[in-house]
């Protein structure tokens, strides 16, 4: 497989620019919390000759590819099979008390989308799986088969922001009573049949349902809620975190966590801010940055990205 063709790291230059001030010293450590096929990590290892990268991923296929692509960097590239909320344990297991950088490149990877057998893509028929770690956990077919109509409606509404959540949940429950829904094409057919023609013209009707099922199967939002505070806690003073989010639900979580970390904890009404109340982090970009128009044209997967970044300025006493 041509990994260079299917995987172009998103906002690579900007990511390097933001993390560079924290990674230029001897002995710097970067955690790539979503290693994937190692595109971002390879760029950092090439740019910073004294850098060590700890790459985390729950996908064993991705880890295998990354090990192969990064073999030339020897012990400077470390690999840990874990979900990214396991960042604290991964850093400790590699023998480091703290790190100088953390990168989150969130969402589904190019490898997962382009391998039809993984079942992530609504445009390709495959077993309805969607597990990022194919060695464990419930599949999307399990969720579709076992969830009540109310649970399906909640999943589609909360994780897909799907306006037709109730209609789709009802259609799925009706269809599975006749035969199991085991393949992505079967689910797409059910969704399309339940979608008014006028709405079908606005885009593929299965897009939000598949996003919602993927998030449910992989517990992506709850994992991110735990991972971000752990990542911030692992950063040394002067250390930096960069996050790339591709859908609004993830970006809202990143925004909320970084805003809280960069805000004063002084109680309202105090005449002055005491040192212990000063923020431990500062934001490095205003709001969320987008990929340039040129990058969006060259790499369609960069179109929805929202970049946020922060730097640790002090530790609590």
Q: Known binder of ligand: residue 105?
A: yes
Q: Is 238 annotated as a binding residue?
A: no
Q: What are the b/e assignments for 274-312, b being 16+ CB within 10 Å?
A: eeeeebbbebbeeebbebeeebbeebebbebbbbbbbbb
Distance from C-alpha of 38 to C-alpha of 120, rounded to nearest angstrom: 20
Q: Is 277 annotated as a binding residue?
A: no
Alpha carbon of residue 27 to chain centroid: 27
CB 241 within 8 A of CB 105: no
b/e 161-186 (16+ beta carbons within 10 angstroms → b): ebebbebbbebbbebbeeeebbbbeb
Confirm whether residue 38 is marked as ligand binding.
yes
Q: Is 84 part of any known ligand binding site?
A: yes
The Cβ-side half-sphere exposure at 65, using a 13 Å CA radius, reads: 22
CA distance 192 to 187: 9
Residue 256, classed as helix, strand or coil, is helix
Per-residue H/E/C for 149-161: HHHHHHHHHHHHC
- Known binding-site residues equal 38-40, 57, 84, 105, 112
- Known binding-site residues for S-adenosyl-L-methionine equal 38-40, 57, 84, 105, 112
């Amino acid at each position: 497989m041509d990994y260079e063709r299917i995987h172009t790291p998103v906002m690579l230059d900007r990511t390097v620019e933001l993390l560079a001030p924290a990674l230029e010293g001897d002995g710097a450590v970067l955690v790539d919390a979503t290693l994937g096929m190692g595109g971002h990590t390879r760029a950092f290892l090439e740019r910073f000759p004294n850098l060590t990268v700890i790459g985390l991923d729950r996908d064993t296929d991705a880890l295998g590819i990354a090990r192969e692509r990064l073999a030339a960097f020897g012990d400077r590239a470390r690999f840990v099979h874990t979900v990214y909320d396991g960042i604290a344990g991964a850093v400790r297991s590699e023998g480091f008390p703290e790190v100088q950088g953390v990168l989150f490149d969130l969402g589904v990877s190019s490898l997962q989308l382009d391998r039809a057998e993984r079942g992530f893509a609504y445009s390709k028929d495959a077993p309805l799986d969607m597990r990022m770690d194919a060695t464990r956990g419930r599949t999307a077919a399990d969720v579709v088969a076992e969830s009540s109509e109310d649970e399906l409606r909640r999943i589609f509404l909360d994780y897909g922001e799907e306006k037709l959540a109730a209609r789709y949940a009802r259609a799925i429950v009706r269809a599975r009573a006749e035969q199991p829904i085991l393949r992505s094409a079967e689910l797409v057919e059910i969704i399309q049949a339940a979608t008014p023609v006028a709405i079908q013209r606005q885009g593929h009707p299965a897009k939000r349902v598949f996003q919602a099922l993927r998030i449910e199967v992989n517990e992506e939002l709850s994992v991110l809620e735990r991972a971000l505070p752990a990542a911030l806690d692992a950063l040394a003073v002067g250390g930096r975190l960069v996050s790339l989010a591709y859908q609004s639900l993830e970006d809202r979580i990143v925004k909320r966590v970084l805003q809280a970390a960069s805000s004063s904890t002084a109680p309202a009404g105090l005449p002055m801010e005491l040192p212990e109340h000063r923020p431990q982090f500062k934001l490095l970009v205003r709001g969320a940055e987008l990929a340039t128009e040129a990058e969006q044209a060259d790499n369609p997967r960069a179109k929805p990205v929202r970049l946020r970044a922060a730097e640790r300025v002090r530790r609590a006493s």
